[in-house]
Amino acid sequence: MRIAIATEGDSVSQHFGRCPSYTIVDIEGNKVVSRKVIYNPGHQPGFLPKFLKEQGAECIIAGGMGARAQSLFAEAGIKTVLGITGRIDDVIKQLLDGTLKGGESLCEHEGGKECEHSEGNAHHKQVEKRQESETRSISGRKVCVTSRGKNLDSEVDPRFGRCQYFIIVDPKTMEFEAVENPDINAVSGAGIQSAQLVASKGVKVILTGNVGPNAFQTLKAAGIKVITGISGSIKDVIEEYKRETFKRG
C-alpha cells in the first residue's frame, strides 16, 4: 500500500494542500519497503488529488483538509486520514502497529471561507504573500534553462525532464547555479520529478525545448511560467529573455 503523508519538516503538516512536501511510503505487510519525499507542486483547486493519484497514493494522511478536497480524494479512490499530528517517523510506526487513529480535520473549510484555525490561517496568508512577492520579482531572478553543460556557454538541452543540467540564473546579475538532473535516467516520472526539483529552487520561469503534459501541469500548478522552443547558448537565451521581458514592460 502506498501512503502519502503531508509533511512539514519532520512532522505531519496541518493542511494537506499547503504543506511543503509529501512523504511517500510503500508498506507491505508490516514493513516499510520504500520511502521518499516529493515536493508539493502547488495548491490549485482539484489538482492535488489527481497528482497524488498519479503518484500511486492509496491513502493521504494530514492534519486537516477541506470538505471539497475530501470529496475529490474519495472520488479518486484515495482514503483520507485526518486529525493527525506528530513526527513522521512516529506516524509511520503507528501505521505499522495498526494503532494510527484519525480524528476531526484540524483545518476545516466551508464554502469559500478562509481556514478557521488561526495558526493555519496565518500560515496561508504568509505563503500567499511570499508567492506574490516572488511573482513581482519574476523578471529579476530565478530563471531556469535546461542545459547540456554546467556553464553559461553551454547549449540548451531541448529535453526538460531528461536534460543533463538545470542552469538557474539571476538575470540581473547573471549569477548562476548548475544543478545536475538526478532523474535523467528515471524509468518513468522524470518530467514530474524535474518540475518538483526546479520548483524547490524557487524558479519562476523555465526556458527549454519541450515539456511533456504531466510536467507542464506540475510546473503550472507551482506558478512557474514555461517558455518552449528555446535553442542556442544559455548566455544568449538569457539575454534574449531579458530583452523580451523589457519589451513587455
For the chain, list the domains and their CATH numbers: 2-133 (3.30.420.130), 143-248 (3.30.420.130)
What is the pLDDT, as a whole number, of residue 103?
76
**Tens-digit pLDDT profile for residues 103-160:** 766 554 433 333 333 334 444 444 444 444 443 443 446 899 999 999 999 999 999 9
What is the pLDDT, as a whole number, of residue 64?
85
Q: Picking from 26-35, 60-69, 139-148, which range would have the lowest pLDDT averaged per residue?
A: 139-148
Give the residue carrying C-alpha cell 554546467. Answer: 150
**Tens-digit pLDDT profile for residues 198-243:** 988 889 899 999 888 888 888 888 888 899 889 999 999 998 888 7
Q: Picking from 8-22, 60-74, 103-117, 211-225, which range would have the lowest pLDDT averaged per residue?
A: 103-117
**Tens-digit pLDDT profile for residues 162-200:** 999 999 999 888 899 999 999 898 888 889 999 989 988
Q: And the C-alpha cell for 245?
A: 521581458
β-pair partners for 37: 23
- Residue 249 clears pLDDT 70, i.e. is over it: no
Most confident of 46-50, 53-57, 99-103, 111-115: 53-57
What is the pLDDT, as a whole number, of residue 16?
85
Q: Give DSSP secondary structure letters for the chain.
A: -EEEEEEETTEE-SBTTT-SEEEEEEEETTEEEEEEEEE-----TTHHHHHHHHTT-SEEE-SB--HHHHHHHHHTT-EEE-S--SBHHHHHHHHHHT-----S-SS---TTPPPSSHHHHHHHHHHHHHHHHHHHTTTTS-EEEEESSSSTTSBBPSBSTT-SEEEEE-TTT--EEEEE-TTTT-SS-HHHHHHHHHHHTT--EEE-SB--HHHHHHHHHTT-EEE-S--SBHHHHHHHHHHHHHHH-
Buried-exposed string 196-220: b where 16+ CB fall within 10 A, e elsewhere = bbbbeeebbbbbbeebbebbbbbbb
Please give the Cα distance from 71 to 102 (Å, whole number).
Answer: 17
What is the pLDDT, as a whole number, of residue 126?
47
Antiparallel, parallel or unpaired: β 165-169 and 11-12: unpaired
Give the residue carrying C-alpha cell 547540456. Answer: 148
CA-CA distances (angstroms) from residue 248 to 112, 173, 241, 245? 34, 20, 11, 5
Averaged pLDDT, 13-27: 88
* Cβ proximity of 147 and 238 under 8 Å: no
In sequence order, which residues have a C-beta less than 8 Å from that of residue 112 and are 6 or more positions away? Answer: none
What is the pLDDT, as a whole number, of residue 177?
93
Please give the Cα distance from 42 to 131 (Å, whole number).
Answer: 11
- The reported pTM is 0.47
What is the pLDDT, as a whole number, of residue 78?
93
